[in-house]
Structure 1
Amino acid sequence: MTGRTSRVTVVDDHSLFAETMAIALRGQAFQVQCAVPDSTTTFAALARTVVQSSPSIVLLDLDLGVVGDVMRLVAALAGNGVSVVVVTGSTDRVRHGEALANGARAVVPKTAPFAEIVGTADRLRNGLPAMSRADREALLRTYRADADSQNELRQRFHLMTRREAEVLARLMAGEQVTEIAKARFVSESTVRTQVKSILAKLQVSSQLTAVGLAHRVGWQPPQPDTREAPPRPTGRGLLATG
């Protein structure tokens, strides 16, 4: 094992796994550091720690318990020539494919023997493929199919009018039709008509499903239109001059 690449950083929030992995790697002449985030670790601090370790290979868990998009870290490391191997307990093939699409060289389950994980790092050290082309392409196809589906779902939300989007936002906040009607100074029948239109455009059959779909695709409601003046009060109070 005389390959050129030998500096490895293990990034995992389970210290026992990280240290045991490090021991196994050191047994095969790798230079190893561990980055073990905890509940106080920020995403930016973790990224700095990893970069400052100057790794050639990073073994990275996708679920680190820190706030931030781990896929960004995968992309940033890969963009700087670091070989990223995702070592994860997740069985989500879409996320596996997303990691590969962002530049990861391989995905290995945590349930795999340490010898298999070390072997993956050793193949990278010696300039060999880290996973089979068939497995890689299968995961990428799964991710791309899901991305296409998500994009199609997001397009449905663009079919809503602004008023309908505002109604959906209120439904997401847990408001009922009666509450929405009162807040918007319109009749309940008007709101019910808007809800029916929302369901038709999103191609769902219930308000609950519409709300769930909005959360699933990360839909954001429109910002309040500050150009609209609130309804003016009516009645005797309007005539009072003090």
Structure 2
Amino acid sequence: MHHGAAAAKAAGDGGNRRPARITIIDGHLLFADSLALALESEGFIVTVIDPGEPQASLATVLAAALRSAGRLVLLEHRLGLLGDGLRLVTLLTASGATVVLLTESTAQARWGAAVHQGAKDVLHKTCSLEELVGTARRVRDGLPLMSRQQRAALIEAAFADRDEVQAIRARLDRLTRREMQVLGALMSGDLVPEIARSNVVAVATVRTQVKSILYKLESTSQLAAVGAAHRVDWRPPVPPTRALTA
């Protein structure tokens, strides 16, 4: 793991208190290192953990974070090959750390999911250094970061998104295997005539299958159906060797 240098001065007024420790978990090392330098100049001791290191796993990232003993953990949830970093929030919170999601995402549902799992605040990566330092100081001083109303609104957005995702997946499960294959082709950008030609069936057959897909997904257009499938990271089954039929 990559570690930022310890700050030379103590955070806060007059340098009378011990410097607070901050852990940054982010695969964008240029951003993370720059942020670490800025926070160190404000008197914090900062450790940067790179989830993209060879042999890294969520377990090794968690272990490194626990060793760093950061009172504040700034977590980017997109951890590349390691997947969703939100899986670390509950474990880090249980260790006594204050987790703040520091992310490029603007999705309120994603923010709400982090808060629901224990994150105390969410900051977008475009926030000012002043705002970030202010958050770090509030954590150091044991002050709240987010109002109860803000937390409730974000969690509500997360629950609403979860319910919608579950509904989309349930509708996708209603498709026949052939309809799933057609939807997969549409997701790849294929047009109806191309799908018909590649599967040696009539264009009318594919159009009928598309109409059935739209009906089952409760979508008004092919674009909406494709968007719904992408939203839930749906993938079509492996196509069989025989051609599609009506």
Q: TM-score range by the shorter chain?
A: 0.7 to 0.9
2:151 corresponds to 1:133 = no
TM-score when scaled to structure 2?
Answer: 0.72
The aligned runs of 1:7-156 (5 Å cut-off) are 7-12=21-26, 13=28, 14=31, 15-26=33-44, 31-35=45-49, 44=58, 46-62=61-77, 68-110=83-125, 112=127, 114=129, 116-125=131-140, 127-156=142-171
RMSD: 3.5
Contact 2:19/2:43 (8 A) holds in 1 = no
Query: What is the match of residue 240 of structure 1?
Result: none
Distance 2:111 2:120 in 1: 11
CA drift of 1:193 comes to 0.8
Distance 1:41 1:21 in 2: 28
CA distance 1:74–1:4, change in 2 (3 Å): farther
| Equivalent in 210, 213, 235 of residue 195 of structure 1 | 210
CA drift of 1:196 comes to 0.9
Q: Percent identity?
A: 42
TM-score when scaled to structure 1?
Answer: 0.73
Unaligned runs of 5+ in 2: 1-11
The residue type equivalent to 2:23 in the other structure is T
2:172 corresponds to 1:161 = no
1:54-93 superposed Cα distances (whole Å, 9 cap, x missing partner): 3332122345666622222334423444321123454432
1:88-124 superposed Cα distances (whole Å, 9 cap, x missing partner): 4544322221211222122234555545544434444
Distance 1:184 1:78 in 2: 52
Local SS of the residue matching 2:102: strand
Distance 2:104 2:94 in 1: 25
Contact 1:5/1:126 (8 A) holds in 2 = no
Unaligned runs of 5+ in 1: 232-242
Q: How many residues align?
A: 224
CA drift of 1:162 comes to 1.8
CA distance 1:169–1:114, change in 2 (3 Å): closer
Local SS of the residue matching 1:221: coil
The residue type equivalent to 1:55 in the other structure is G
CA distance 1:170–1:36, change in 2 (3 Å): closer
Contact 1:18/1:36 (8 A) holds in 2 = no
The residue type equivalent to 2:110 in the other structure is R
Query: What is the match of residue 232 of structure 2?
Result: 217
The residue type equivalent to 1:69 in the other structure is D
